[in-house]
Amino acid sequence: MEQEKQESRHERFKRLASKRTNEILEKIRILGNCSNKSSYEYTEGEVNKIFFEIDKQLKLIKAKFLGGKRERFKL
């Protein structure tokens, strides 16, 4: 039985990151369906709360990728 070529860490990252990014983008598109005023009722505050949380999570995850590149606060 032939052993499959070992996937490199970079290849694994690209495969998983692409798959997971596409899944997230699809979920965002589906969330957009909730904007249909003929089917749903919502307030501007509720919409702001949704996007505030999405923005917050994106910033946290981006910081993980950038690692120690963030400036620290100093007085």
Is 55 a domain residue?
A: yes
Contacts of residue 7, defined as CB under 8 A and 6 or more positions apart, other chains included, come to 15
**pLDDT, tens digit (0-9, with 9 covering 90-100), for 16-75:** 999 999 999 999 999 999 999 999 999 999 999 999 999 999 999 999 999 866 567 788
Secondary structure (3-state) at 42: coil
Higher pLDDT, 3 or 68: 68
Is 62 a domain residue?
A: yes
Structurally, the chain folds into a number of domains equal to 1
Model-level pTM greater than 0.85? no
Residue 40: which domain range? 9-68
Taken in order 9, 13, 16, 18, the sign of the CA dihedral is negative
Is 61 a domain residue?
A: yes
Is 25 a domain residue?
A: yes
